[in-house]
């Protein structure tokens, strides 16, 4: 287990846009009926800084890919999150 308890030795899981959309809806249930533009900014679709933190937690937990703090500002769309994780 790494710091924060993520198992970084597990086989990384491929991430999809649909999976990240599910994570967003899981984090913000009031957005459950929304269709998200995967290239729109996360702030633009209604997430605040805490929501983004929570979504990235789910990404790390479910894929085993750690997202360093210094990457947070770069990963500001669904598509960029998917691309980052799948390139690890």
Partner 1 sequence: MYGIERIASYIPEEQLEIGPLAEAVSADPEFVRTKLGVTRLPVLDSELDTSDLAVAALNRLMAGDSVARDEIGCLIVCTQNPDGEGLPHTSALVQAKAGLPSSVAAFDISLGCSGYVYGIAAVTGFLDATGMEKGVLITADPYSKIVNRNDRDTALLFGDAATATLVSRNGPWKMIASDFGTDGAGAENLVKRDGQLSMNGRQVFNFTLSRVPDQIRKVVADAELRLDDIQVFVLHQGSRYIVESIGRRLGVPAARVPVAIEETGNTVSSSIPLILETVLESKNNKHIVISGFGVGLSWGSAVLTRNSSQ
Binding site for partner 1 (CB under 8 A): 3-6, 48, 50, 53-54, 56-57, 60-61, 69, 72
39 Cβ contact list (under 8 Å, min separation 6): 77, 78, 79
**Residue 3 or 9: which CB sits closer to partner 1?**
3
State the nearest-atom distance from the C-beta of 4 to partner 1, in Å.
4
Q: How far is the CB of 17 from partner 1 (least distance, A)?
A: 23
CB 12, CB 65: distance < 8 Å: yes
Burial class (CB in 10 A: 0-12, 13-18, 19+), 36: buried
CB 48 to partner 1: min, Å:
6
Nearer to partner 1, 40 or 72 (CB): 72
Q: Which two tokens stand for residue 55?
A: 């979504």
């Amino acid at each position: 287990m790494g710091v924060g308890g993520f198992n970084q030795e597990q086989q990384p899981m491929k991430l999809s846009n649909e999976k990240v959309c599910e994570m967003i809806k899981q984090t913000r249930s009031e957005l459950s009926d929304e269709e998200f533009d995967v290239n729109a900014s996360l702030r633009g679709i209604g997430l605040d800084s805490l929501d983004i933190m929570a979504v990235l937690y789910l990404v790390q937990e479910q894929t085993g890919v750690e997202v360093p703090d210094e990457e947070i500002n770069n990963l500001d769309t669904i598509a960029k999150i998917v691309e980052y994780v799948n390139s690890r």
